[in-house]
Structure 1
Amino acid sequence: MSSILAVAGVEVRRFLRDRSNIFFVFIFPLVLILLLGSQFGAGSGQAHVSVAGGTGSELERKVAGQLEADGLRVTYGSPETVRAELSRGRTDVGVFISDAAAAAFDDGQQADLEVVMSAQSGAQAALQSVRTSVQAVDTEQRQLAALQDAGVSRDEAAAALDQARTTVQRPHLEIVDTSNVTQEFRGLGQFDLGAAQQLLLFVFLSSLTGAATLIQARRLGVISRMMASPVTSWEAIAGQALGRFGIAVVQGAYIMVGTALLFGVDWGNLLLAGLILAFFAAVAAAAAMVIGSVFDNDAVSSGVGVGLGLVLAGLGGSMVPPEFFSETLQTVSRATPHRWAYDAFAVVQRHDGGLADIVPQLVVLAAMAAVLLALGAFLLQRSLNRAL
């Protein structure tokens, strides 16, 4: 066992000695998850409204308070700043309150607001929410005006409306989207989906591209010298596989911990998520053994590894969620380990599933790992007798 661990340690050190691997294994995945989550994350659907002008006025307080009460994210800035944010897509809707509008509101007169929508895809829905909030403020002012016209003082009218809001139960409307896709992603955090997808993409991709170190070890005679020492062939092969498995698990665990701490990603049951990662890493390590044993040129193996890794990731749902696939592509995607690991993560993350719920996915991943490992060991044994 010590011989296997020693061989695995050598492979890990050889992999980390290449500084470019450190960037693509530990830095780039988190950057990509941040970018994808910021643009397409589930949580990014909260409308963002920027309010400009009317600072300290009653109109600003009423409008901003109603917007926040209706679940919109409200920020404040100067008119120039808000217009710049709109042009850059950093806010969905800008509400501009002029001094004349604030004064008219204080006098009980009609106050005109300038509302500008950005070109963002979700800006139209945000605009409708803003209109609803502003109409609620307008309705309250009309109620106050009607009571005042009936001879009630403004303070008494405001107190009566406050009492009515607390004693009268408003009708509640709940809109339920019956779309299966919408229900599937319901409750996901902004970075949750992208984190799981990118974890599978990079763990597999890094493993395949790291197969170049196996070719270099064969070319430089590292494996031959191992075989000349008191190390059996199966120990050398097991050490090679364990080294690649260790690299994949460390990268996956790093992504899981990093996204949880930096982006608040909810991985569900951490033990089950770690188990899924371990099974998927075993498949990735075995696939790297096959790539590293078939090819004799490390540059070619890296190119094949990148191409194969991206294709499998795309088919397996690591780029576009498989819920959007056609039925035919759904069937094809199940030939990839990414799809089975994606489904397992979905069960744990979105549905609070237990071990029994992910057993089918784990069995398939284990079978894939066993077949690829056996093939990789056979090919590596043959490659040791082949001149490079």
Structure 2
Amino acid sequence: MTALTIMATGLRRLARDRTALFFMVLLPIVIILVIGATVRDTGEIRIGVVAAERTPLATELVTDLRQSPAVSVTDYAGESEARNALRRNELDAVLIVPAGLDGTLRSGGTVTIPLLGSAAQSIQQAARSAVSGLVARHAARVEAARFTVDNLGGTFDERLATATRLQASVGTVTVRTETVDATSDYLPLGFSYSAPTMLVLFVFINALAGGAAIIESRRLGIYDRVCAAPIRPHDIVFGETLTYLAVALLQSLLIVGIGAVLFGVRWGDPLAAAALITVWALVGTGTGILAGTLFRTPEQAGAIGPAIGIACGMLGGAMWPLEIVPQTMRTIGHITPHAWAIDGWIEILSRGGGIPQIATQLTVLAAVALTLLTIASIRLGRRLTA
């Protein structure tokens, strides 16, 4: 009961600390919202369309493009506005529908339709493939209508309507993409990768910075006054442990909730996700208490702690996937617990893994947590009895 009272007191004190709340609650939310708004999990290609004329053939081309499930179309009044949107990464490509499109095609001429792309080569290729396929399909109808008019007579509009009906009845070839090697180290897409890495990063950083609370309590003599009461030192240690664990779990649940509700992140098997969150919260708890016994002043904990957390996050794959770095750096990265936690999330989110599939990661993280908690408890206990 004493430990729970200490935990409740610690949480109330934290709730009144606006600086701590900013770093533990507001800052993660802001970064999650920014990344979630810019990282898209959808496979849609964002294409801006600038149509010089709203003639029937030009309108039909834009309509065909808009109906494609792989493309998201935004209309722009002028090319300058569309180019600016492309530079700001609001678009992946810009399609310029030139003036005189209808007249040139009706007379049998050739029309060049410019497609402006972004700097990323992969996005350029995807946009070019999506647009060229639609343009070719549109051009086939126009060519068929033109050929029929030249050889059988009739009006162009009548023959184009006939070609459109016939084209709809002709069978098509569907290309399906399937991942054959289900055990490969592929990553979750977009925000589904960013969300768990931010959970790993922020829980660890805030735990390190939160060590300042223990230092402040020692400096103000709070522990001395508590020890003057009939309260044993190990009750204080246990209460502080529960406080840090509660904060880590609450912050984890906050990130999970924001990712799921606002950005549709699916966190995989509930039991596996809960186990990974819990064991990582224990790692953060041990780290935070240990920081409170190692740093001398709250300023040191607030300045040095986050720097250490960011460095570990960079090595462990919280800033970028370890799959893109050389094998040597990947091995070094697994010295940090971050890499094991992120490996566990990749197993859960990419491959639908459960607890058996992440047993190795859970074991390593549990060992790290037990080591940190043991050392931190011994050191804090000594500080209380010194």
- Is TM > 0.5 for Structure 1 vs Structure 2? yes
Report the equivalent of 2:312.
312
> What amino acid is the match of 1:251?
Q
Secondary structure at the aligned position of 2:356 is classed as helix
2:237 maps to what in 1? 237
Cα distance change on mapping 1:159 and 1:101 into 2, 3 Å: closer
Cα contact 2:316–2:322 (8 A) shared by 1: yes
The match for 1:184 is 186
SS at structure 1 position matched to 2:49: strand
Residue of structure 2 in register with 1:332 after alignment: 332
Q: Could you tell me how far apart the structure 2 residues matched to 1:213 and 1:65 are?
A: 61
Residue 46 of structure 2 is matched in structure 1 by 48
1:272–1:348 CA contact under 8 A, matched in 2: yes
1-structure distance, mates of 2:76, 2:43: 22
| Rounded Cα–Cα distance in structure 1 between residues aligned with 2:226 and 2:130 | 68
Q: Return the offset for 1:242.
A: 0.7
Aligned-residue offset at 1:21: 1.9
Instruction: Say which SS state the counterpart of residue 115 (structure 2) adopts.
Output: strand
> Is the contact between residue 38 and residue 190 of structure 1 (CA under 8 Å) also seen in structure 2?
no
Q: Which stretch of the first structure deviates more once superposed, 305-314 or 269-278?
A: 269-278
Question: Equivalents in 2 of 1:45, 1:171: separation in Å?
Answer: 20
Contact 2:183–2:351 (Cα < 8 Å) also in 1:
no
Partner Cα distance (1:150, 1:211) in 2: 85
Deviation at 1:163, TM superposition (A): 3.5
| Structure 2: stretches of 5+ with no match in the other structure | none
Corresponding residue pairs, total: 381
Structure 1 segment 142-181 matched on structure 2, within 5 A: 142-151=143-152, 153=154, 154=156, 155=158, 158-159=161-162, 161-166=164-169, 168-174=170-176
Deviations 1:136-190 (A, max 9, x none): 3222211222233331645366435533543x433344567889999713xx443
Q: Is the CA contact (8 Å cut-off) linking 2:182 and 2:351 kept in structure 1?
A: no
- Structure 2 counterpart of 1:242, which letter? L
Give the match for residue 373 of structure 1. Answer: 373
Distance 1:376 1:44, change over 3 A: same
State the alpha-carbon separation in 1 of the partners of residues 119 and 183 from structure 2: 25
Match of 1:267 in 2: 267
Tell me the SS of whatever aligns to 1:257.
Answer: helix
Distance in 1, Cα, partners of 2:184 & 2:103: 45
SS of alignment partner, residue 48 of structure 1 = strand
**What code does the residue aligned with 2:353 have?**
G
The worse-fitting range, judged by mean Cα deviation, of 222-231 and 287-296 is 222-231
Find the residue that maps to 2:95 and give its secondary structure.
strand
The separation in 1 between residues aligned to 2:344 and 2:87, in whole angstroms, is 41
Give matches, 1:93-108, under 5 Å.
93-105=93-105
Q: Look up the match of 1:297.
A: 297
Q: Which stretch has the larger CA shift, 296-305 or 62-71?
A: 62-71
Kindly indicate whether the alpha-carbon contact (under 8 Å) linking 2:248 and 2:284 is maintained by their aligned counterparts in 1.
yes
The aligned residue for residue 65 of structure 2 is 67
In the alignment, which residue of structure 2 is the partner of 1:141? 142
User: Structure 1's 100 and 220: CA in aligned 2 closer, same or farther, altered over 3 A?
Assistant: same
Q: CA deviation at 1:233?
A: 1.5
**Pairwise CA distance, 1:42:** 5.9
Q: Structure 1: where are the runs of 5+ without partners?
A: none
Comparing 145-154 with 235-244, greater Cα deviation is found at: 145-154
1:100 Cα offset (Å): 2.2
Q: 1-side partners of 2:240 and 2:69: how far apart?
A: 57
Residue 316 of structure 1 contacts residue 322 of structure 1 at CA under 8 Å; is this kept in 2? yes
Which deviates more, 310-319 or 171-180? 171-180
Given that residues 3 and 239 in structure 2 are in contact (C-alpha distance below 8 angstroms), is that contact kept between their aligned partners in structure 1? yes
More displaced 10-residue stretch of structure 1: 274-283 or 358-367: 358-367
The aligned runs of 1:216-255 (5 Å cut-off) are 216-255=216-255
Shift of 1:246: 0.5
Calculate percent identity across the aligned residue pairs. 27
- Distance of aligned partners of 1:83 and 1:181 in 2 relative to their CA distance in 1, 3 Å threshold: farther
Pick which of 316-325 and 206-215 moved more: 316-325
- The 3 A distance-change label for structure 1 pair 273 and 209 is same
**Contact 1:38–1:44 under 8 Å retained in 2:** no
Q: Is the 8 A contact 1:260 1:266 kept in 2?
A: yes
The answer on whether the counterparts of 1:189 and 1:266 sit within 8 Å (CA) in structure 2 is no
AA at the equivalent of 2:166: Q
Aligned position for 1:13:
12
Offset of residue 256 of structure 1 = 0.7
Cα distance change of structure 1 residues 87 and 353 upon mapping to structure 2, 3 Å threshold:
closer
CA root-mean-square deviation: 2.7
**Aligned equivalent of 1:202:** 202
Contact (CA 8 Å) 2:316, 2:338: kept in 1 or not?
yes
Q: Report the residue type matching 1:267 in the other structure.
A: W
